[in-house]
Each structure stands twice: as structure tokens, then as C-alpha cells.
């Protein structure tokens, strides 16, 4: 029998009338969803707008839960610990808004001047030492300087328009306050939330219950480790930039701490910016800064991070970078923040799936033996 004949017979056997009807119905559903995409996207947007304070409140309560549990282990009542934590958080936010943010805005112009000066210094250095045609190098650096100058020109406009920005941010402030209030109630009712989560997940299946609480354990370990590492990194790099005489030591220290949210990519980018803005310092300070950044990077990677992270929380650099790329492509900036937690969730699910599959394969072998 020829190949065409065998293929025709295979298609005739597989594509029955019932199968063709299913394919047609599936294509109709896809076409209907595509034609009504505007309606569904608007509906999902409204649903998200309604549940957003509850989702944000749950995330805040989830982050606060470990600190509340730590206080309870040391004899501090939940009724005291929760108000104390939220008052501390509120005081921190007020301090940031009243002192740190205006200072950062005032220093931002000088910071941009340092960055522009660094690019000019690199352009002059390359132009003097490059033996070939340096026109393309000059054009590239001129374009960078022009872009940075345009960004710098926006800073006075942003400062003068600050009251207007504050008024337009009123809606966001209301959502934030509402989310905080919801999170307080969730903190007080956390044991009840946990009880119903256990009840619902157990009714679905035992495997689903175990998977959910394994995810909870991994995410909790990650958040605790991340909080400790952010504090350590902020102190490390603020002191480093302060000791070498960098005028923007506080900005770079805070940026180094926050950059840990985006592993590998974030800290590397902040270190590059820190070195570029330090090119106006004496050569000895620049060399010390580069050497200390290299030393601290190795110290953080191979000493501090393994000490802070639990043994089970090992993040593969390759898969972490792949997760950041995929999440940022799909979700934009939110993807950068949720990439690592999403990676942990997928890793737990896959690990659980393959473990269950392995147990199913081994079970008949044990019964036969």
C-alpha cells in the first residue's frame, strides 16, 4: 500500500463525524471569543477593579503573617502585634513621603548630571584611544547624552507638577488605604482563612491540598529570605558608596536593595549605574569601588545568600533568568516582580506531578514483587 493510501485510510479512521463536530465546535468557540474579546476584556477589567483591594490586602496580610507569628511565639498577643506592625509600616511610609522622597527628588538632578558626565568621560576616553573610525562611537554616545539630557529636563517639570500628581494619585491612595484596612481584618482572621483553605483544598483532593501548602512553605521561605537580604544589601552598599565619597550613596543603597526583586539583572544594572556615576571621583576611589563591588558580589552570592536562604530554596540561575524573561514579556513590569514567586509555584507543581507519577509507576512493581 502506498504512503498516500495509508495516510488516507488513517485520516478516514480518525476523523469520524463525531470528531469533526468537536473540532468545528471548538473552532466556533475560539471564533466567538475572538469576536467578543472587547466585551470579555472589559468585563475582566471591571472584575479585577472590584477584587483588587482584596487581592492586595491578602498579599499584605500574607507578608505580615510571619512577623505576627514571630511575635506570638515570643509571647506578644496578636491584638498588640498587628496594630504595632501597621503603625510601624505607616510611620515608615510617612517618613519616606516627608523626608526621603523630597531629598531623592532634589538629588535626582545631580544624579543625572553625574550619569551624563560619566558618558562624556567614556566617549572622550574611547575617542582618544580608538585607532579606527570613531565616528559611530561618537554618534552613539552623543545620542545617549541627548537622551539623558532630555530625561534631566523633565525633572523640574515633574517637581513643579507635584501637586497635580498628588491630586491625580488620590484614587490610588484610596485603593491602598482600603487594601490596608482589608489586610488588617485578614490578619485577625488569618487562622479562619487557613482553616477554610485546608477544608476546601482537602475536599478537592489530597494532592491538591499538599501542593497548595508546599507552595505556601516555599513562598514564605522566599519572602523571609528576601526581606533579610534587602536589609543586608541596603546597609552594605550604602556604606560602600558613602566610604568612597559618592554623593548619591543613599539612592544607590536603596536601589541596590530594591533591585533584589529582579535577581541577577537588577543588581547588575544598579552596579553598572553606580560605577558610571562614580567616574567623576578620583581614580583611586573608582578602583576601590569596582574592587569592592566585585568582592561584595561574590560574598553575597556564595556566603550571605546561602546562609539566609533555606536548603530547600535553591534558585537555578538559568531558570530564574528564563522566568524573568517570560514573565516580563507577558506581564510587563509586574512580570519582573512576580517572576521568581511564579517560578517557585511552577516548580512545586512540576515536582509534585513527577513525584506522583513516579509513585504510580512504582506501586504496580511493588505489588507484583
Q: How far apart are CA 196 and CA 88, in angstroms?
A: 30
Q: Cell 507519577, residue?
A: 357
Q: Cell 491578602, residue?
A: 58
Q: Say if 30 falls within a structural domain.
A: no
Do 364 and 219 sit in the same domain of this protein? yes
pLDDT of residue 158: 47
Burial track 70-96 (b if 16+ CB lie within 10 A, e otherwise):
ebeeeeeeeeebbeebbeeeeeeeeee
Is the CB of residue 119 less than 8 Å from the CB of residue 148? Answer: yes
Do 343 and 202 sit in the same domain of this protein? yes
Q: Say if 17 falls within a structural domain.
A: no
Q: Say if 199 falls within a structural domain.
A: yes
Do 112 and 81 sit in the same domain of this protein? yes
Number of domains in the chain: 2
Q: Where is the domain boundary, 169, 188, 207?
A: 188
Q: Where is the domain boundary, 188, 219, 245?
A: 188
Q: Where is the domain boundary, 188, 210, 240?
A: 188
Do 224 and 357 sit in the same domain of this protein? yes
Do 51 and 180 sit in the same domain of this protein? yes
Q: How far apart are CA 36 and CA 38, in angstroms?
A: 5
Do 125 and 233 sit in the same domain of this protein? no
Taking the chain (369 residues) in runs of 10, the rounded mean pLDDT of each run is 60 60 80 81 83 87 84 84 87 70 62 69 70 62 65 52 56 80 89 88 85 86 84 89 84 84 81 79 85 86 74 71 81 78 86 68 54
Do 279 and 149 sit in the same domain of this protein? no
**288 exposed, middle or buried (CB, 10 Å; 0-12, 13-18, 19+)?**
middle
Pick from 218, 300, 220: which is nearest to 264 by CA? Answer: 300
Domain extent, residue 316, equals: 191-369
Q: Say if 63 falls within a structural domain.
A: yes
Is the CB of residue 183 less than 8 Å from the CB of residue 58? Answer: yes
pLDDT of residue 335: 78
User: If you count them, how many residues does the chain have?
Assistant: 369
Q: Say if 15 falls within a structural domain.
A: no
Task: Provide the H-helix boundaries in the chain.
Answer: 3-14, 17-35, 37-73, 78-95, 101-129, 135-160, 162-168, 170-188, 190-204, 206-243, 249-258, 265-277, 283-299, 305-308, 317-331, 333-368
Do 158 and 169 sit in the same domain of this protein? yes
pLDDT of residue 226: 84
pLDDT of residue 132: 60
Do 214 and 359 sit in the same domain of this protein? yes
Amino acid at each position: 500500500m502506498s504512503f498516500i493510501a495509508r495516510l488516507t485510510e488513517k485520516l478516514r479512521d480518525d476523523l469520524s463525524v463525531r470528531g469533526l463536530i468537536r473540532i468545528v465546535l471548538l473552532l466556533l468557540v475560539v471564533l466567538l471569543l475572538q469576536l467578543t474579546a472587547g466585551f470579555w476584556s472589559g468585563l475582566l477589567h471591571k472584575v479585577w477593579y472590584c477584587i483588587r483591594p482584596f487581592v492586595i490586602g491578602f498579599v499584605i496580610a500574607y507578608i505580615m503573617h510571619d512577623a505576627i507569628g514571630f511575635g506570638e511565639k515570643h509571647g506578644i498577643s496578636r491584638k498588640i502585634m498587628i496594630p504595632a506592625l501597621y503603625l510601624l509600616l505607616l510611620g515608615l511610609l510617612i517618613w519616606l513621603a516627608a523626608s526621603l522622597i523630597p531629598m531623592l527628588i532634589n538629588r535626582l538632578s545631580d544624579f543625572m548630571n553625574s550619569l551624563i558626565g560619566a558618558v562624556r568621560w567614556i566617549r572622550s576616553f574611547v575617542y582618544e584611544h580608538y585607532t579606527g573610525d570613531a565616528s559611530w562611537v561618537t554618534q552613539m554616545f552623543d545620542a545617549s547624552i541627548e537622551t539623558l539630557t532630555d530625561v534631566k529636563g523633565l525633572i523640574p517639570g515633574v517637581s513643579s507638577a507635584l501637586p497635580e500628581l498628588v491630586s491625580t494619585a488620590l484614587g490610588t491612595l484610596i485603593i491602598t488605604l482600603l487594601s490596608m484596612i482589608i489586610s488588617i481584618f485578614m490578619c485577625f482572621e488569618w487562622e479562619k482563612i487557613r482553616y477554610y483553605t485546608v477544608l476546601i483544598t482537602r475536599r478537592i483532593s489530597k494532592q491538591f491540598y499538599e501542593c497548595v501548602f508546599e507552595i505556601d512553605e516555599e513562598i514564605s521561605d522566599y519572602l523571609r529570605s528576601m526581606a533579610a537580604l534587602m536589609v543586608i544589601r541596603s546597609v552594605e552598599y550604602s556604606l560602600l558608596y558613602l566610604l568612597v565619597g559618592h554623593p548619591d550613596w543613599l539612592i544607590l543603597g536603596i536601589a541596590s536593595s530594591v533591585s533584589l526583586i529582579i535577581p541577577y539583572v537588577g543588581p547588575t544594572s544598579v552596579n553598572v549605574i553606580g560605577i558610571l556615576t562614580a567616574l567623576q571621583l578620583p581614580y583611586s576611589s573608582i578602583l576601590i569601588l569596582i574592587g569592592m563591588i566585585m568582592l561584595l558580589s561574590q560574598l553575597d552570592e556564595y556566603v550571605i545568600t546561602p546562609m539566609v536562604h533555606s536548603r530547600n530554596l535553591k534558585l537555578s540561575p538559568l531558570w530564574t533568568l528564563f522566568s524573568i524573561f517570560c514573565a516580563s514579556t507577558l506581564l510587563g513590569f509586574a512580570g519582573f516582580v512576580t517572576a521568581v514567586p511564579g517560578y517557585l509555584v511552577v516548580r512545586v507543581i512540576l515536582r509534585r506531578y513527577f513525584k506522583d507519577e513516579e509513585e504510580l509507576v512504582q506501586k504496580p512493581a511493588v505489588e507484583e514483587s
